[in-house]
């Protein structure tokens, strides 16, 4: 009702004049449409305005000024918590904080990163599995969710039913690297050396029972060779020993060794993913290098309690995909060695369903443990 807004503007103007001690005798004041009117006329307009308010319906008075789409937003309604089951400072933690910053801008709600450390990530995962299934508590998880299902006998949750996928945000390819003085130029050289000296090649692992351990065991079984596994308390000490010549090789996340490969301090032979990495595009996949069909992904993404409504899950998935397409964010992740995926919830569910039995079979048949 444009005339109502014009009248209201006039009354506000009159009120200001009175507050400033303006004249009480008949005078002129400027109204919204630019005309001059005597004060008595404005008084009459005020009465008309008040009568108009009396006949307005309650629905008209209550109509929101926000766009209609804003009224339809039901998530999030309060701060969102992302549980990261590892210590601050690692790759998962950095990804979670990047997502938290971007999503808080999109959702106009705080997004808090909560590092819940212990028992190879199962303590944090258990908190999310038991949380209210409304999307306000999420897990920054990865392949550890599927590995732990077979590595722990008494998990406080059922890994096959506790979670539903939200999005596989990024993949951090595992890469097989060797010390340059080993005399190995490519994967076929590595394979020939391992077969010629079974059990003698010292392969450093970033811990027992991790994705590197399982992936290399799958590779050695497929191609028929053996190495001597040397477990470390993480990827950093394994890399230090490899650089120092104390071990021969390691299978590790590409992001951890990209700079060393670029500097010529380590030689990258192949990545475990079915596609090459933008960070090191000259490094072939294992499938290309001779292990037909081989594919293992080390991924990081968001999971929610199993009963979380599909509409909420899809909303989060779409918003994560949007923030990961921001050029600065995407470039930062890709330069660090990640492959930005931003999958749908359904695609991550398919990954979980595929990897749970696949990894369980390898762990059981090879006797892999956490010790």
> 175-203, pLDDT tens digit by residue?
999 999 999 999 999 999 999 999 999 99
Three-state secondary structure of 103-117: HHHHHCCCEEEEECC
Mean pLDDT of 142-147: 96
d(CA 225, CA 345) in angstroms, rounded, equals: 37
Assigned token pair, 221: 């079984």
* Residue 171: strand pairing partners: 299, 339
Residue spans in the chain of domains classed CATH 3.40.190.150: 77-167+302-328+343-366
Number of CB atoms found within 10 A of residue 8's CB: 16
Four-point Cα dihedral 251, 256, 262, 263, nearest 10: -100
**Helix (H), strand (E) at residue 253:** strand 249-253
Let me know: does 148 contact 230? Beta carbons within 8 Å: no
- Residues 351-359, mean pLDDT to the nearest whole number: 97
Average pLDDT over residues 298-304: 97
State the pLDDT confidence band at 91, using cuts at 50, 70 and 90.
Answer: confident
Q: Both tokens of residue 288?
A: 């290309």
User: Which of these, 317, 313, 323, 339, lies nearest to 100 by C-alpha position?
Assistant: 323
Rg over alpha carbons for the chain, rounded to the nearest Å, is 31
356: part of which helix (H) or strand (E)?
A: helix 345-366
- For domain 174-289, give the fold: D-Maltodextrin-Binding Protein; domain 2 (3.40.190)
Which residues make beta-bridge pairs with 110? Answer: none
| Range from 55-59, 62-66, 230-234, 326-330 carrying the lowest mean pLDDT | 62-66
Widest pairwise Cα distance in the chain: 110
Strand, coil or helix: 285: strand
The CATH 3.40.190.10 portion of the chain extends over 174-289
What is the pLDDT at residue 73?
52
Is the predicted pLDDT of residue 320 greater than 70, yes or no?
A: yes
Listed residue (322, 267, 276) closest to 295, CA to CA: 276
Q: What are phi and psi of 152, to 5 degrees?
A: -110, 130
Find the angle CA(145)-CA(280)-CA(147) to the nearest 5 degrees.
10
Instruction: Among 30-34, 140-144, 256-260, 335-339, name the one with the lowest average pLDDT.
Output: 30-34
List CB contacts of 240: < 8 A, sequence separation 6 or more: none
Question: What pTM value is reported for the model?
Answer: 0.76
Q: Which fold has domain 77-167+302-328+343-366?
A: D-Maltodextrin-Binding Protein; domain 2 (3.40.190)
Q: Cα(142)–Cα(144) distance, rounded to whole angstroms?
A: 5
Which pair of structure tokens corresponds to residue 71?
């009224």
Report the run of H or E that residue 36 belongs to, with start and end: strand 36-38
Could you read off the pLDDT of 209-242 as tens digits, one per residue? 999 999 999 999 999 999 999 999 989 999 999 9
Q: How far is CA 227 from CA 200, 250, 289, 334, in A?
A: 6, 11, 18, 31
């Amino acid at each position: 009702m444009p005339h109502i807004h014009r009248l209201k503007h006039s009354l506000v103007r009159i009120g200001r004049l009175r507050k400033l001690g303006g004249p009480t005798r008949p005078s002129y004041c400027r109204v919204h449409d630019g005309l001059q009117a005597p004060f008595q006329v404005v008084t009459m307009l005020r009465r008309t305005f008040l009568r108009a308010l009396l006949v307005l319906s309650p629905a008209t008075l209550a109509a929101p000024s926000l766009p209609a789409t804003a009224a339809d937003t039901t998530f999030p309604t309060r701060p969102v918590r992302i549980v990261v089951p590892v210590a601050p400072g690692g790759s998962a933690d950095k990804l979670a904080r990047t997502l938290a910053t971007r999503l808080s801008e999109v959702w106009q709600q705080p997004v808090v990163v909560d590092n819940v450390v212990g028992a190879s990530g199962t303590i944090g995962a258990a908190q999310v599995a038991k949380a209210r299934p409304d999307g306000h508590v999420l897990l920054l998880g990865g392949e550890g969710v599927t590995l732990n299902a077979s590595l722990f006998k008494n998990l406080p949750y059922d890994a096959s039913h506790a979670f539903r996928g939200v999005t596989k945000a990024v993949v951090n390819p595992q890469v097989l690297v060797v010390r340059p003085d080993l005399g190995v130029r490519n994967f076929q050289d590595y394979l020939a050396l391992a077969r010629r000296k079974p059990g003698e090649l010292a392969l450093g692992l970033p811990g027992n029972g991790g994705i590197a351990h399982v992936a290399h065991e799958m590779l050695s079984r497929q191609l028929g060779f053996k190495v001597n596994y040397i477990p470390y308390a993480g990827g950093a000490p394994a890399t230090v020993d490899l650089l120092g010549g104390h071990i021969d090789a390691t299978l590790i996340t590409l992001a951890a060794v990209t700079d060393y490969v670029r500097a010529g301090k380590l030689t990258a032979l192949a990545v475990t993913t079915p596609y090459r990495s933008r960070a090191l595009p000259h490094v072939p996949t294992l499938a290309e290098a001779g292990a037909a069909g081989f594919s293992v992904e080390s991924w990081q993404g968001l999971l929610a309690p199993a009963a979380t409504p599909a509409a909420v899950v899809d909303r989060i998935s779409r918003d994560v995909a949007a923030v990961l397409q921001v050029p600065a964010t995407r470039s930062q992740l890709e330069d660090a060695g990640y492959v930005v995926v931003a999958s749908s919830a359904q695609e991550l569910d398919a990954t979980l369903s595929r990897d749970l039995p696949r990894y369980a079979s390898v762990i059981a048949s090879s006797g892999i443990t956490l010790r």
